A and B are shown apart, each in its own frame.
Chain A
C-alpha cells in the first residue's frame, strides 16, 4: 500500500513536471504562483520575491551564447525610454512607459492591446512597470493615480487617486503584490511633501494601510519618496522597502538628526504596514541619495553561520549586508570612491562628515547625485556568491547657502565626471572580485544572472553584453542603437529560452537559433 502511494506520487510528479516543461500551463497569478514562479513567467518586478534577479534557466550557456540571435523587437513608437521591467504571465508580456501600458505576445512580439492614460501634469520621468494579479493589471500613473486594467483587453476597471498631483505628488513605481495587497509608493521629492507606502485592496482599490515614511511625531523633515518595488520574505512575513531622500534636499538645517525613515530600508508587516525594523544607509542625507535600491534577499552562510541576509548596493556608495530577521549589520563597505562619511558606526551605518555638507563655496563629493548605482537592478549569483552591480564611480560639486532657502532643492549640485563599471562583489568580504568597464558617464542597464553562469547587462555605448559570471569576460554583444535604461529578464516558452532587453523605446527578445540549442 505504502509502495503504491509512493509510486503514485512519483508518477504524478513526473506528469506535472513533464507537462510544465512542454506546454504552457494556464497561470492564474495568485499568491501561490507568486511564491513559486514557473520558468515560463516573470510575474513580478524582480521575477520573484527575493530581488536576486537570478534565473534557473540554463539553455543559453557560456558555450552557446555567442549564437544568440534576435527573436523579435517591439517598437513602442514613443519618445520615452523604456525603464520598466516587463511582467510575463500566460505568454503575455506587460510593460510601460509613462501614460502607456502594452500587452505583447512573448513569443512573437505582436501587440495584443495598448492602453493610454489621459494627458496629465504628473512628472513623466519614468515608469517602472505593472503588477499582475488574478487577471488584473495594476499601473501607477504619472499623476499618482492607481489604474486597474483587465489583463485580457486593457479595459479600465477602476482608477483611484493615491495622492494629489496638484500638491506635487507623482508616481513611477511598479506595484508589488503580496498576499491580498497591492503595495505602492508615491513620489514628490522636490516639494517638501510627506510621503508614504500604501497597501490597497486588489478588487476595490480601497486603502488597507499607510506607512508614513516620515512619522508625524518626528516630522521635522519631509520627503522619503518611495519609487521602487520592494522585496518579500514569506517565512518572516516581512516586506523590505527602500525609501528616498528627505526634503529640503541639500539643506539639512531645518531637519536636524537622522530624518527617520528617509534614505532607509524599512521592514514592514505586509498585512498591517507596521514597522518591524529599519536600517538607514544615509542618516541625515544632504546629497539626494535615495536608498530605494533593491533590498536583495539571500539565504546562505556568512562567516561560517547560516543567515537570512538582505543586501543593498546603495546609491550613497556603500554595500550593506544585513541580518534581515532584525536589521542588524553584518557588513558595510564602499564599492567605489566615497568621501562623505567620517566613519562607520557600531550599527554599520556611515556617519556623515559635517564638512561634506553642501556649502556656499562648494564641496567636492563622491559619488555624484545619480549615485554609485541607482534604480537599475543588481543580481546575486548563488553559485559564485557574487553580488553583481552596475556601478558609477563619480565626482561632483555640491552647493547650498542660506539664501537658497529651505524649500525643495535648496541648493545646487553639478556632476563633474563619472564612468560605468560592472562590479562583482564578494558578499562575505565586500571585496570586488572582478570588474568590467562600461565606458564614460556610465550605463543605465541592470543585471541578470543565470544558473548556466551568464551575466546579462549593457554598456555606456548601448551594447547589450553577455559576460562570464566567473570572471566578467565578454562572451557576446549586440549594438542596440540607444541607451539602455532597464534590467534584463529571461523566460522559457515552448522549450526556448528568451532574454529580454530594452534600449531607447524598443524591446528586444533574444534566443538561440534552433540548431544551436
Chain B
C-alpha cells in the first residue's frame, strides 16, 4: 500500500512537472500556450529568443541560457531569481556549490526537483558557464561597453542587499533607507538598532506590518541577511550624512505651553467631552511618547466603532463594527462571532466617537496642536 501511494505521488508529481514545463525563454517574449499541449516544450522553444538583441555582442552565452530556459527556468525563474518560497534563486549559486556538486544535483535531482540525467556534454558545460555568469543587466544589453554591469549582482552582501532594497523597499523607506514617501527612516529605528544579522528585521519583512500598511515579503534567509546588512551599513553612514529624510525627536515636540493646552483641552478643543486626564488618558504619556503620542492625540488609528443593527424582525444586534461599505454591514458580537447583512435588508446605526477628531482638523491652529501636545506630555 505504501509503495502504491508513493507511486501515485510520483506519477502526480511528474505529471504536474510536465504540465508546468511550458516554454519560458528569458529576457524576451514568451508564449504561454493556452492548452495543455504546451507540454511539448521540447519542440516549442523558439531558438532565437534567448537574449535581447545586443549590437556587436558574441553569442557565447546563448547555449547556456537556452539550456537554462529549457530545464530550469520554469521553477527557478526566467532570470535565476527563484520563485520563493519553494524554489531558491540560482543567481550566485557558484558561490555556494562546486561544479561537480551542481552536476550531481542536476543529474540526480533532490526533493521535489527532478533529475536530468540526459543533460550531458556541451550542454552541461554551457549551463555551468551560464550559472556562473552575473545577472544580465540592461546596461549590458544597452551598451556592451559598460563594465559596471557585472557589479550589480556579483559583489558582497551589502551590495546584494542594496539591490533588493532599492527594488522592494526604497519607494517607502527612501533609497538611502532614511525614509521616503510613506515609510519611516530606518537608520534611526529602534528595531534596526537592536537587530542582529536580520533577526528583528527579518521578522518585520516576513510578517509585514499590516497596521502600518507595510506588506509582507517572501525573502530567503540569505536575502534577509543581505537586506539587514545594507540597512546596517546605511545606519552607519547616516550619522555622517547631511541630508535625507529624518525622523522626529521627542525634543522637537517641546514648543507648546502645557497650561494653554489644558485650557484648550477643557475649552475650545472640546476634548473633555469624551476624555478625562484622570480617566482614560491617565498615564497616556507613559504609554506613548514623542511623535507616536502626537499622532494618537490627533487621530487614534484603529479606534473601534460600535454598531447597532436592527433586523426586519425588530431584533437589535449590537457589536463592534467589523466591516462597512455601501452594500454590507458586518459586526462582531459580544461572543466574538462575525455577522453581516446586506445594508438594504436592515437598519443600522454606527457610533464612532473617533470621528470627533476629524471634525477638529480644520479648527486647530498649529499652536493649539503644540500646546495640546505639551499638556498630553504632562499626563504621566
Which positions in A face B, CB cutoff 8 Å?
103, 110-125, 141-143, 145, 149, 153-161, 166, 168, 190-191, 248, 288, 337, 339, 355, 359-364, 366, 369, 395, 397, 399, 401, 403-412, 414-417, 437, 439, 459-461, 463, 474, 477
Contact = CB atoms under 8 A, between A and B. Distances in A.
B245 A412 contact: yes
Contact of B29 (A113, A145, A411): A113
A416 B299 contact: yes
Contacts of B81: 119
Contacts of A116: 26-28, 30, 78-79
A362 B178 contact: no
5 contacts: A121-B166, A143-B138, A409-B180, A409-B243, A409-B244
Contact of A401 (B252, B299, B326): B252
Given A369-B181, A416-B298, A120 B142 contact: no
Given A119-B81, A463-B327, 16 more contacts: A103-B29, A114-B30, A116-B78, A119-B152, A121-B166, A166-B148, A190-B174, A361-B255, A369-B182, A405-B243, A407-B242, A408-B176, A408-B245, A412-B246, A437-B326, A477-B327
A141 B357 CA distance: 43
Interface in B292-323: 294-295, 298-299
Contacts of A154: 28-30
B143 interface: yes
Contact of A397 (B170, B180, B294): B294
A463 B138 CA distance: 38
Contact of B138 (A103, A117, A190): A117
Nearest to B370: A361
A31 B268 CA distance: 62
Nearest to A403: B246
Contacts of A248: 243
B163 interface: yes
Interface in B122-155: 135-139, 141-143, 148, 152-153
Interface stretch (B99-107, B109-117, B360-368): B360-368
Q: Which of B26, B184, B245 has the most CB of A within 10 A?
A: B245
Instruction: Across the A-B interface, give the 4 residue pairs with the lowest CB-CB distance, nearest first.
Output: A407-B243, A154-B29, A409-B245, A405-B243
Contact of A114 (B29, B174, B242): B29
B273 to A, nearest CB: 19
B31 interface: yes
A124 B172 CA distance: 11
A337 to B, nearest CB: 6
A419 to B, nearest CB: 9
Interface in B17-37: 26-32, 34
B137 A110 contact: no
B22 to A, nearest CB: 11
B358 interface: yes
B53 interface: yes
Contacts of B29: 103, 113-115, 149, 153-155
Nearest to A149: B29
B53 A399 contact: no
A141 B138 CA distance: 9
Contacts of B26: 116
Contacts of A288: 181
A313 to B, nearest CB: 20
Interface of B: 26-32, 34, 49, 52-53, 78-79, 81, 135-139, 141-143, 148, 152-153, 162-163, 166-168, 170-171, 174-176, 178-182, 184-185, 241-248, 252-256, 291, 294-295, 298-299, 325-327, 357-358, 361-362, 364, 366, 369-370
A144 to B, nearest CB: 10
A359 B181 CA distance: 18
A178 B79 CA distance: 35
B53 A157 contact: yes
A408 B138 contact: no
Contacts of A404: 243-246
Contacts of A159: 52, 138, 141-142
B170 A123 contact: yes
Contact of B185 (A145, A339, A412, A416): A412
B28 A190 contact: no
Contacts of A337: 361-362
Contact of B246 (A110, A120, A190, A411): A411
A62 to B, nearest CB: 17
A410 B294 contact: no
Contacts of A103: 29
B30 A409 contact: no
Given A407-B243, A417-B361, A161 B143 contact: yes
A248 B242 CA distance: 12
A297 B295 CA distance: 40
A132 to B, nearest CB: 15
A119 B244 contact: no
Given A121-B166, A414-B295, A406 B252 contact: no
Contact of B167 (A124, A191, A405, A459): A124
Contacts of A361: 252-256, 370
A344 to B, nearest CB: 18
Contacts of A364: 298, 361, 364, 366, 369
B154 to A, nearest CB: 12
Contact of A459 (B247, B326, B361): B326
A111 B27 contact: no
Q: Which of A149, A362, A397, A415 has the most CB of B within 10 A?
A: A362
Nearest to A411: B245
A405 B242 contact: yes
Contact of B162 (A121, A366, A411): A121
B148 A399 contact: no
Contacts of A161: 138-139, 142-143
A369 B256 CA distance: 25
A438 to B, nearest CB: 9
A182 to B, nearest CB: 16
Contact of B180 (A118, A141, A190, A439): A190
B174 A120 contact: no
A369 B181 CA distance: 8
B252 A158 contact: no
A65 to B, nearest CB: 15
A363 B365 CA distance: 9
Contact of B142 (A145, A406, A415): A145
A442 B166 CA distance: 27
Given A113-B31, A190-B174, A411-B246, A463 B53 contact: no
A146 B248 CA distance: 39
A417 B299 CA distance: 7
Contact of A155 (B28, B244, B252): B28
Contacts of A414: 291, 295
A190 B175 contact: yes
Nearest to A462: B325
Contacts of A401: 246, 252
B253 A362 contact: yes
Nearest to A460: B325
Contacts of A119: 79, 81, 135-137, 152-153, 163
Contacts of B166: 121-123
A406 B294 contact: no
A409 B179 contact: yes
Given A121-B152, A339-B362, A408-B245, A416 B167 contact: no
A190 B175 CA distance: 8
A403 B137 CA distance: 37
A153 B291 CA distance: 53
Contact of A410 (B180, B245, B248, B362): B245
A439 B358 contact: no
Contacts of B162: 121
Nearest to B170: A123
Contacts of B244: 404-405, 407-410
